Amino acid sequence: MKSLSIKWKSYLSCLILLVIFTIMGTFLVMQIRNILWERSNLHTVQLVEKLGYDIDMLLGELDRSISQLAYDPYILSLLQGDVSNDTLGNVHHALDATLQTLPGAIIESDLLVISKDTKVLASTSDELIGKYRTLGVEWINKVMEASGSSVRITGYSVSRGNNLHNMRVMNIARGIFSNGQYLGMLVMDIPTSTFEVVCQNVNIGNSGFVSVIDVDNLVIFSTNWVDMGNQFKQLSLQGQTQGSFIGKLGGEDMFIVYKKSDFSGVTVVGVLPLKEVFAPAELLTRNIIIAIVGFGIAIFLVTVWIVLSISRPILKLTEKMKEVENGDLSVRVINKRNDEIGVLGKGFNKMLAQVQDLIEKEYKANLRERESQLNELTAIINPHFIYNTLEEIKMKAYLNNDYQVVDMLTGLARLFRIMTNNSSRFITLREELNHCTTYLQVMEYREDPSLSVTVSFPEQLLDSYSLKFLLQPIVENCIIHGFQNKSQGSIRLSGELTTSNLIRIEIADDGDGLAQDRLNELNSLLRNKTTLADRPLALRNIHDRIQLAFGVEYGLAIMNNQKEGATVILKIPYLRQPPEAFA
């Protein structure tokens, strides 16, 4: 981790944050799924139990009504063969009176008195009287075996009305016996639509349904009408009284809750598709995924913005530090920020400025120390002794008629007199040009190279003040280094006053010139404050003396000419009086 950059640490933090949010979102979805499952389970179980209770209450009330009729003497007489009008009238009255007491939900029900040969002797529906009710041997045997207890008969349809339309019914049958002998039965036809009233307020999801199933697993009633009269989806609930499980109906996963009534024998089944149970969780999952993706993109963009706003300035600062390591103290960080990065950049610039100032002060101190040592060395040599010695040598040469040596010694004495004159560091350009002229006169006695010198200065510039020994070292440099491979050449000294009130002096030669890499090296040496031992000091010393005396906006530069040779350019202020006069 320590070797990672700030950028990759930020990206890694962003990734960890996204993983944490993903784990939290997954945990939240799982918790919500568990809560939804528990609530759906509890709600469906309670709903099925309540529906079973309501059906038991309804069938119990109907069973009590039939049980009272079972002991009616007129019905007993009718089943024993008394078909008198008086008996029939009393039976019909009893049936109608009982039917009127039943709940409104079963108003379309019928009460029937059926003989042991299954003929309808009496009924609340006149159209059924005299017809035979085919119940089947199995159901008749169940009624007879019940010995007067009620039996629920399912899976039958009866025809009613003028159009004789079929109506699916559930029957409650009770056998009537006399002295242990089976006489017939009382039957109540309960339309399965009655259960629709009981189930009308039942709501199991959007596509869930409720079914009422008999002991043979036949659907007596279902809010899913397709199941009516069929086996319950080929799922057998035999031998089980209540419970819940997950099964497949029509290829779809369903949550199934069932409860069997001990009283009525019917089983109420509630079916809820699992996709509805977990639909809110799936919707929440999608929303959480969208939120995590959106949040992740937002975090990534913000992280990238923060990383770039931090790393870019730091990388730029690192690049500037590398330039400083290479010796360039003039670099600065361009920074307009006011935050911590901005403070760092400003601190870097301030540090460089202080370091550069210390180097310049140290350099000036070293230069003053060198000048002081030179002055001390000059003071040690007795100028009068040297003057007298040169005069004696010149007289001997004159007596020997060696006038060339006389001229050389005369020029050399003049140069030495200027060098040992410590009255001022500043002389006029006229005096400096005379100094160069004297030096060139001495150099003319050399065989190689043969030089021609041209001086071109406006008259108004000749009385301007400048440093002593400003031009002579440059001219000497031209002769020594510019004409190593030539036997003749020319040097031109020229000056002009620019519009910005400074003097531009050019010393140009037509010598060998400089290779481009050497030229770049020299100009870099002039710009940098460090000086290497194997680098030429003459031009650098002149450049530093100008800047120390007049300011950093002045100095020296070197360039190659278009054809041949090189040119040294000096920029100095235009001074009508020496700088000491302003002190």
**How is residue 15 written in tokens?**
């990734």
The domain boundary, picked from 276, 297, 328, lies at 276
In a domain, 183, yes or no: yes
In a domain, 174, yes or no: yes
The domain boundary, picked from 232, 261, 276, lies at 276
User: Exposed, middle or buried, 340 (CB in 10 Å: 0-12/13-18/19+)?
Assistant: exposed
Strand order in the sheet with 120-123: 120-123, 110-115, 181-191, 165-178, 150-160
Q: Specify the DSSP element, H or E, that contains 508.
A: strand 502-509
In a domain, 369, yes or no: no
Strand pairing partners for 502? 573
Residue with tokens 């990065």: 341
pLDDT given for residue 4 in this prediction: 66
The C-alpha atoms of residue 249 and residue 234 are separated, in whole angstroms, by 9
Q: Kindly list the distances between the CA atom of residue 151 and the CA atoms of 2, 70, 190, in Å, as whole numbers in the listed order.
A: 85, 13, 13
Residue 445 sits at φ, ψ, to 5 deg, of: -80, -5
DSSP 132: B
Q: H helices within 113-161, ranges in order? A: 137-145
SS3 40: helix
In angstroms, how far apart are the furthest CA atoms of the chain?
A: 196
3-state secondary structure 149-192: CEEEEEEEEEEECCCCEEEEEEEEEEEEEECCEEEEEEEEEEEC
CATH of the domain at 526: 3.30.565.10
Q: Kindly list the distances between the CA atom of residue 69 and the CA atoms of 95, 97, 332, 408, 556, in Å, as whole numbers in the listed order.
A: 8, 10, 114, 166, 136
User: What is the value of pTM for the model shown?
Assistant: 0.46
In a domain, 378, yes or no: no
pLDDT given for residue 122 in this prediction: 92
Amino acid in position 426: F
Q: What is the CA angle 141-144-145, rounded to 5?
A: 85
3-state secondary structure 324-350: HHCCCCCCCCCCCCCCHHHHHHHHHHH
Q: Assign residue 323 a region: left if phi > 0, alpha if psi is -120 to 50, beta otherwise?
A: alpha
pLDDT given for residue 493 in this prediction: 92
Judge whether 109 and 102 are in contact, CB under 8 Å. yes
Number of domains in the chain: 2
In a domain, 507, yes or no: yes
The domain boundary, picked from 245, 276, 307, lies at 276
In a domain, 363, yes or no: no
CATH of the domain at 250: 3.30.450.20
Residue ranges making up the domain that contains 257: 46-276
In a domain, 367, yes or no: no
Q: How many residues does the chain have?
A: 583
DSSP 574: -
pLDDT by residue for the chain (583 residues), tens only, comes to 556 666 677 777 778 877 887 888 788 778 877 777 777 777 778 888 888 888 788 778 878 878 888 888 998 898 888 889 899 899 899 888 888 887 765 667 888 999 988 889 999 888 888 888 777 777 788 888 887 777 777 655 565 543 335 667 778 888 888 888 888 888 888 877 777 777 767 777 777 888 887 776 777 777 776 565 566 665 555 566 778 788 777 778 888 888 887 777 778 888 888 887 777 767 777 787 888 788 778 877 887 777 777 777 777 878 878 888 887 777 887 777 777 777 787 888 888 888 878 877 777 777 776 666 556 555 545 565 666 666 767 777 777 777 777 777 777 777 666 666 655 678 899 988 988 888 777 777 665 667 788 999 999 999 999 988 888 888 888 888 888 778 788 889 999 999 888 999 999 998 888 888 888 888 888 877 554 444 556 788 888 888 888 888 899 999 998 888 899 999 999 998 887 654 4
In a domain, 454, yes or no: yes
Strand pairing report for 566-573 and 120-123: unpaired
